[in-house]
Amino acid sequence: TQLLEQSPQFLSIQEGENLTVYCNSSSVFSSLQWYRQEPGEGPVLLVTVVTGGEVKKLKRLTFQFGDARKDSSLHITAAQPGDTGLYLCAGARPTGNQFYFGTGTSLTVIP
Amino acid sequence: DAGITQSPRHKVTETGTPVTLRCHQTENHRYMYWYRQDPGHGLRLIHYSYGVKDTDKGEVSDGYSVSRSKTEDFLLTLESATSSQTSVYFCATGQGALDTEAFFGQGTRLTVV
C-alpha cells in the first residue's frame, strides 16, 4: 500500500470538459507537489503547496491542499489535448528527507 | 532545465547478472534520488543521497545499492538482477530536501529476461 493514493487511475474526457484528480493519504505532509509527465520523459513540477487550505492557480489548473494537509486535488477547467499526460502528486513528510509519490492519474483529452 | 543525464537509456540483461545505472548532474544539487516507475504504482523511491558518501534507503531498497563518490554522480546497482526489477528507473536531483523542486532525468528502461 502506497502512502499517497490517487483517483481516478485513468481518465478520458472530451476537449472542453472539466475534471478533478484527487490525491489522498491518512498521513500528514509538510508540503505537497504536483508533477506532469509525458511519455518517454521524466516528471516536471507544476506546483508546490505548503499551507493547509492553500489554493494555487496555474492558468486553467487549480490546486488545493487539504486543511489537515493529508490530501490534495487538481482541477482542470476546459481541458485541452495538450493537458494529456500522467499527473503525479508527491508529498514530503514532516520528518525525513523522502518524497513519496502518488500512484498517478493518466489523463487523455480527446479533441 | 537542470542537466541530468541517465545512462544507459535502455538495457536488457539476464537474470542473475549485476547491473549499474548512472546518473550525472551538472547543477551541483545536493540531493539525488533513484526512483522506479511501474504501472499503477507511480514513482517509488529506491535510495537517495543527501551529500557525497551520504545515502539512505527508500521505500523499495531491497536488491539495490547506491554509491555517490562525487557530487555530480549517483550510481544505482542491482547486485543480481531479477525479473521483478524490470522497470523504468528515474534519477532526480534537488537543491534541498522536501518542498523544493525535484528535477528528473529522462529515465532508463531496464528489462531483465
* Segment A80-105, tens digit of pLDDT: 999 999 999 998 877 766 778 999 99
Task: Please answer yes or no on whether B98 and A6 come within 8 Å at the CB atom.
Answer: no
Task: Please answer yes or no on whether A99 and B102 come within 8 Å at the CB atom.
Answer: yes
Instruction: Identify which has the larger pLDDT, A31 or A93.
Output: A31
Q: What is the pLDDT of residue A45?
A: 92
Q: What mean pLDDT do residues A11-15 have?
A: 97
Instruction: Identify which has the larger pLDDT, A100 or A61.
Output: A61
How many percent of chain B have pLDDT more than 70? 95
Instruction: Identify which has the larger pLDDT, B42 or A8.
Output: A8
DSSP state of B102: P
What's the gap in Å between the CA of B65 and the closest CA on chain A?
Answer: 17
Task: Please answer yes or no on whether B40 and A99 come within 8 Å at the CB atom.
Answer: no
Q: What mean pLDDT do residues A12-39 have?
A: 94
Question: Residues with Cβ < 8 Å from A75, sequence gap 6 or more?
Answer: A18, A19, A20, A21, A61, A62, A63, A64
How many percent of chain B have pLDDT more than 90? 81
| A41, A44, A88: residue with CB nearest B43 | A88
**What average pLDDT does chain A have?**
93
| B40, B98, B106: residue with CB nearest A42 | B106
CB B13 within 8 A of CB B112: yes
* Residue B99 confidence class, pLDDT cut points 50, 70, 90: low
Burial B81-90 (b: 16+ CB within 10 A, else e): beeebbbbbb
| A33, A50, A103: residue with CB nearest B42 | A103
Strands B10-13 and B108-112 come out as parallel
Q: What is the pLDDT of residue A1?
A: 61
